[in-house]
């Protein structure tokens, strides 16, 4: 009996030991298998690794659960997790492809005609009256003045319209439209070169340097936004751009500009807040030369209502940049909604720096598009771009024909 009991006891011990051993083996194998899983799903697999430690005690049940999770879930998730590769994508920063610039004004004309209604349509309605008496001509004049066309151009236009209408005799709406279109185009001018000058130039030491464009204007007119949008216009036209954040007066301007640049893959050269704008502008052109960029756009500060300060600052920026080579374009940004005030600004800027082109912003928010005529007269330089909204691609090369067609409808 004792021997039998002994044999039974030994047998039981053997079974228990065997069972435990095999359990451990499975468990340890499991553990070895688990680590390889994480690589597939870094963030998802990391947490399951922890429960493993405490689970050793409850081996069978948890092993089963884990097996199901591993066998069933991962394969199911695997395809879903393929996008896990996405994090790799950010390595290449998202660079947008701006809208082509050709025909932008035509595409944005709805905004223009909405805001310009009172000018073009108003003139047509008045000219269509059966009797064009003095009161009507006065109304025509008032319409033009209200739209900020300016006194002298208004008088010239009214004079010409009077003559032509007299010659015409009876007027059909179509004849009137053609006549008004021709006269407005004459007023705006169709033969100026409205392209932004961005061609490479010859630098001081004879080497080729990027085209340099300085963007000037009073803060709040949309200067920095316009610089950013212009970078997009140039990139859309196949040019490479470096931005110079020389508006060190307005705290957020450099960040704002850098964000615009990053969106289209253009580097922004910036300095410390309140730093010397001229040295930033100098460095930006230097960077442009080093990168072999096509164009360097320099955003400047426009805080000033004291002419001396403005002259000192803008003059210095220009002179310092010219140590590299010529500045090809100085664009004055004017807010179309400011009317006569805008003209006063234009005058002040023109006295301190040679303006070569005008950008009229916020034309989407005003019926005063006549300022185009007035500012061109005032400065003797063409409007080259117009801003028609806050969207990234809402800056359009100015095309007189498309503009006038939007004014009077075609």
Binding site for ligand GDP (CB under 6 A): 219-225, 250, 253, 361-362, 364-365, 387-390, 394
Q: Closest separation between CB of residue 181 and ligand GDP, Å?
A: 25
* DSSP β-ladder status, 267-269 and 241-246: parallel
**Beta partners for 295?**
211, 241
Whole-number Å distance between alpha carbons of 395 and 93:
24
Give whichever of 151 and 344 is closer to ligand GDP, judged by the CB atom.
Answer: 344
Q: Closest separation between CB of residue 346 and ligand GDP, Å?
A: 14
Q: Closest separation between CB of residue 368 and ligand GDP, Å?
A: 13
Q: Closest separation between CB of residue 245 and ligand GDP, Å?
A: 11
Give whichever of 30 and 362 is closer to ligand GDP, judged by the CB atom.
Answer: 362
* DSSP β-ladder status, 201-202 and 208-209: antiparallel
Give whichever of 220 and 380 is closer to ligand GDP, judged by the CB atom.
Answer: 220
Whole-number Å distance between alpha carbons of 168 and 173:
12
Give whichever of 325 and 357 is closer to ligand GDP, judged by the CB atom.
Answer: 357
Give whichever of 220 and 409 is closer to ligand GDP, judged by the CB atom.
Answer: 220
| Relative orientation angle of helices 59-81 and 2-33, to the nearest 10 degrees | 20
Q: Closest separation between CB of residue 345 and ligand GDP, Å?
A: 11
Whole-number Å distance between alpha carbons of 116 and 260:
29
| Relative orientation angle of helices 109-127 and 134-146, to the nearest 10 degrees | 160
Q: Which is it for the CA torsion 318, 323, 326, 328, positive or negative?
A: negative
Distances 397 to 105, 196, 249, 365 between C-alpha atoms, Å: 7, 9, 29, 18
Whole-number Å distance between alpha carbons of 290 and 401:
40
Whole-number Å distance between alpha carbons of 395 and 280:
26
Q: Closest separation between CB of residue 282 and ligand GDP, Å?
A: 21
Q: Count how many residues are written for the chain.
A: 410
Q: Closest separation between CB of residue 50 and ligand GDP, Å?
A: 50
Q: What would the two tokens of residue 331 be?
A: 């664009």
Give whichever of 394 and 405 is closer to ligand GDP, judged by the CB atom.
Answer: 394
The closest of 341, 254, 250 to 302, measured between CA atoms, is: 250
Give whichever of 120 and 228 is closer to ligand GDP, judged by the CB atom.
Answer: 228
Distances 355 to 6, 315, 362, 379, 389 between C-alpha atoms, Å: 111, 12, 20, 8, 24
Q: Closest separation between CB of residue 222 and ligand GDP, Å?
A: 3
Give whichever of 140 and 280 is closer to ligand GDP, judged by the CB atom.
Answer: 280
The closest of 229, 249, 188, 184 to 333, measured between CA atoms, is: 229
Contact 192, 398 (CB under 8 A): no
Q: Closest separation between CB of residue 162 and ligand GDP, Å?
A: 35
Terminal Cα distance for the chain, rounded: 118
Give whichever of 253 and 408 is closer to ligand GDP, judged by the CB atom.
Answer: 253
Residue nearest to ligand GDP (CB): 387
């Amino acid at each position: 009996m004792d021997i039998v009991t002994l044999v039974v006891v030994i047998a039981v011990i053997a079974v228990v030991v065997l069972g435990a051993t095999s359990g451990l083996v499975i468990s340890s194998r499991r553990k070895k298998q688990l680590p390889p899983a994480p690589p597939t799903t870094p963030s998802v697999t990391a947490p399951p690794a922890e429960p493993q430690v405490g689970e050793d005690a409850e081996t069978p049940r948890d092993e089963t659960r884990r097996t199901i999770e591993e066998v069933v879930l991962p394969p199911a998730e695997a395809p879903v997790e393929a996008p896990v590769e996405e994090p790799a994508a950010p390595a290449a920063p998202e660079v947008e492809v701006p809208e082509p610039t050709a025909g932008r004004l035509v595409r944005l004309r709805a905004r223009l005609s909405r805001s310009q209604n009172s000018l073009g349509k108003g003139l047509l309605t008045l000219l269509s009256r059966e009797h064009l008496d003095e009161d009507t001509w006065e109304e025509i004049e008032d319409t033009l003045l209200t739209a900020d066309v300016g006194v002298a151009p208004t008088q010239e236009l009214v004079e010409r319209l009077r003559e032509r209408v007299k010659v015409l005799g009876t007027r059909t709406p179509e004849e009137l439209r053609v006549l008004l279109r021709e006269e407005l185009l004459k007023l705006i001018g169709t033969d100026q070169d409205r392209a932004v000058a961005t061609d490479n130039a010859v630098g001081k030491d004879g080497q080729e340097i990027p085209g340099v464009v300085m963007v000037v204007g009073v803060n709040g007119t949309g200067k920095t936004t316009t610089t950013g949008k212009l970078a997009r216009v140039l990139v859309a036209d196949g040019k490479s751009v470096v931005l110079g954040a020389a508006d060190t007066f307005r705290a957020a301007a450099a960040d704002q500009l850098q964000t615009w640049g990053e969106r289209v893959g253009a580097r922004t050269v910036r300095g410390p807040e309140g730093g010397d704008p001229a040295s930033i502008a100098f460095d930006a052109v230097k960077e442009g030369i080093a990168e072999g960029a096509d164009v360097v756009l320099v955003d400047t500060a426009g805080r000033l209502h004291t002419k001396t300060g403005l002259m000192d600052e803008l003059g210095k920026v220009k002179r310092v940049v010219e140590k590299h080579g010529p500045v090809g374009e100085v664009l004055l940004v004017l807010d179309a909604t400011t009317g006569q005030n805008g003209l006063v600004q234009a005058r002040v800027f023109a006295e301190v720096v040679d303006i070569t082109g005008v950008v009229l912003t916020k034309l989407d928010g005003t019926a005063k598009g006549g300022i185009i005529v007035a500012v061109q007269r005032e400065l003797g330089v063409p409007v080259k771009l117009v801003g028609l909204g806050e969207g990234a691609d809402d800056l359009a090369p100015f095309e007189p024909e498309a503009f006038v067609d939007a004014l009077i409808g075609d």
